[in-house]
Chain A
Amino acid sequence: MSNLFDLLVAGLATGAIYALVAVGFTLLWQTSQTINFAQGEFVMLPAFLMLAAMHAGAPFWLAIILGILLSMILLGLAFKMLLVDPMMRHGVLPLAIATMALAIGIKEAVKQFFSAEASPFPSIVPTGDISILGHIVSLQSIGVLALAILAVFGLTALLSRTSLGHQMQAAAQNPTVARIIGVPVERMILLTFLINAFLVALASLLITPIYLAKFSSGEVLGQAAFIAAIVGGFNQVRGAIAGGLLIGVLDNLAASYVSTQYRAAVPLIFLILVILFRPQGLLGRAEERTV
């Protein structure tokens, strides 16, 4: 049984990171109908921004702050103003294709300007093991889990308890009515892009020490976040959180109980089943369809 416990802890830790990325993904979808196919690359990039800051001589803490700020400018502000704003009125598909092209662009830029090799990345959580209930658990897993849970709780508190959060939700649910009652919808949409940029930067900080910084690492992450978002419910923040944790655990269990060759297939088959039998996601509401 100890094996199962370890797997669950490790699964929850990666799952919590998936949840961060998936929450950002659903936020963008809700406020601006952006399906961001570059979300995985968005997670890959901040680690390289931080590494670049460190190469320029900044200490780790300063590099983290610079990395997060730069991601919010590049992946939040610039992404919205330069790509999403001009394309939003054209509908979902052209914008989704543009983000696919953006994903190629980011990957190639990192490969060209930084390195095609995987680079090690310092961990924000001290490495080592601690013992919980007689089980040896890596401190990194616990730290990642704790930080991710903190971020997710902070975000849900922001969305459900503050006036700002209510305005954001109003802007997402019904922009027209929100505008009538005086919600600055445009500013709220920008805010969700900044929050998404912050979340991916945080996820980058947490996951890169585990998987190394590599230009291609966004592909796997992006896909895991997609699956998490859809499984949990495309239009629900708490759905994305549950989906992230579930996919993380499922992925880890599949790796040791199903063949390692087909571990990646388990979440995919799960995804297909969820879409076919409960398309609104496990926790989502059904979306209304217009004719």
Chain B
Amino acid sequence: MSGFAKPLKIALGLAVIAGLIVIPMNFNRYGLFILSQWAVMTIAAMGLNLTLGYAGQVSLAQGAFVGIGAYAAAIMTTHGWPLPAAIVVAIILSFAVGWVLGYPALRVQHHYLAFVTLAFSTLAFLVFRNESWLTGGIYGISNIPRPHFFGIATNKPLPFYYVCLGSLAIVSLAVWWLIRSPWGRAFMALRENPLRAQSLGIDTRRYTLMAFAIGSALGGIAGALYAPLTQYIDPVPFNLSLSLDLLMMVIVGGAGFFLGPFLGAMIAVLLPEWLRFTEGYYLMLYAVAVILLLIWSPTGILGILDRAMAARRTKAASALRAVAKSRLETVQ
């Protein structure tokens, strides 16, 4: 995105943020629900983007962490705890489990790692379904309360949408800061060439585990918001397909781009809704759209933009070179 002038970029960003705050004010209940879902899924996809896009560790378990966060929040808030406390517990829990799940990544890479995390994802689903003393089993947990903030109840869809949007803003700022910190650079070094990273003195072991743990913690936050959003959870939404969906969001949006998860979640959550007028065909069309997009640009939507910018820059550079050359020739 560096082709834009900086003030223009800031103005565009502010316009989008203002739009996200103002436009939904006259949305109906369902529209607000979908938009809140987009915000929640973006948080989860951002976590996976850290693990996969920046640190290069394939994970098919992000859906399980959303589940862990959702169950933590559901169980605690139905027992009278406030949501912020539940979010903290969700973060700690998924951070710890994510850290442990990172250990296989120290031994195996790529597709093997994908399969270990896939197995973990299915195991987590079995625990959600079978440990009914804790999770309510297949009947799930209902009547999950929505929080009060500063004395304002967020029971209505609009206030809760602002809770989701606010959380998304906080998480985005934190991730923005993280990928620009030395840690973010270490993650990228890990992705590009782990051996060279190690030879430069980066503790690849610690950063691999960190990439998993932080990415998973964001999944936990998303889950802790998902539970009060739907106000009812059962194991089904947290099966393997959620992990696969989140992975698709990251790749389709553009893995390793900061804005990738926002676009990817938009396509995965909103595109099926827009295609709903096609009735039974909408998921088929969605699948075809994803395949076509990946054939066209395997680096996702932002990959297209990135290449276009790069092409424009090369063009500009070669134009400058041509000018410089002709000047040299006239001097001679």
Check if A108 sits within 8 Å of B298, measured CB to CB: no
Q: Is B119 located at the chain interface by the 8 A CB criterion? A: yes
Complex interface residues of chain B between 121 and 177 (CB less than 8 A to chain A): 122-123, 126, 129-130
Question: Which residues of A are found within 8 Å of B298, using beta-carbon distances?
Answer: 87, 90-91, 94
Check if B119 sits within 8 Å of A261, measured CB to CB: no
Cβ contacts B209-252/A at 8 Å (1 or 0 each)? 00000000000000000000000000000001000100110011
The closest CB in chain A to the CB of B119 belongs to A268
Question: Which residues of B are found within 8 Å of A92, using beta-carbon distances?
Answer: 110-111
Report how far A37 CA is from B247 CA in the complex, Å: 13
The closest CB in chain B to the CB of A89 belongs to B298
Q: Is B75 located at the chain interface by the 8 A CB criterion? A: no
Q: Which of B15-23, B65-73, B287-295, B317-325 makes up part of the contact surface?
A: B287-295
* A75 nearest CB across to chain B (Å): 15
Report how far A230 CA is from B130 CA in the complex, Å: 27
Question: Which residues of A are found within 8 Å of B195, using beta-carbon distances?
Answer: 291
In the complex, number of A-B residue pairs with CB atoms less than 8 Å apart? 108
Closest 4 CB pairs of A and B: A105-B287, A94-B298, A90-B298, A101-B290
Most chain-B Cβ atoms within 10 A of its Cβ — which of A37, A91, A92, A108?
A108
Most chain-B Cβ atoms within 10 A of its Cβ — which of A83, A101, A230, A272?
A101
Q: Is A123 located at the chain interface by the 8 A CB criterion? A: no
Report how far A112 CA is from B120 CA in the complex, Å: 32
Question: Which residues of A are found within 8 Å of B116, using beta-carbon distances?
Answer: 271-272, 275-276
Question: Which residues of B are found within 8 Å of A226, using beta-carbon distances?
Answer: 115, 118
Question: Which residues of A are found within 8 Å of B79, using beta-carbon distances?
Answer: none
Contact of A230 with B122 at beta-carbon distance under 8 Å, contacts A87-B294, A98-B294 already known = no
Question: Which residues of A are found within 8 Å of B294, using beta-carbon distances?
Answer: 87, 94, 97-98, 101
B residues with a Cβ closer than 8 A to A are 58, 104, 107-108, 110-112, 114-116, 118-120, 122-123, 126, 129-130, 193, 195, 240, 244, 247-248, 251-252, 280-281, 283-284, 286-288, 290-291, 294-295, 298-299
What would 29 A/B residue contacts be, using CB atoms closer than 8 Å? A83-B291, A92-B111, A93-B58, A94-B294, A94-B299, A97-B252, A97-B294, A98-B294, A101-B287, A101-B294, A102-B287, A104-B284, A105-B283, A105-B287, A108-B281, A108-B287, A109-B284, A112-B284, A234-B111, A264-B122, A265-B123, A268-B119, A271-B119, A272-B116, A275-B104, A275-B112, A275-B116, A276-B107, A276-B108
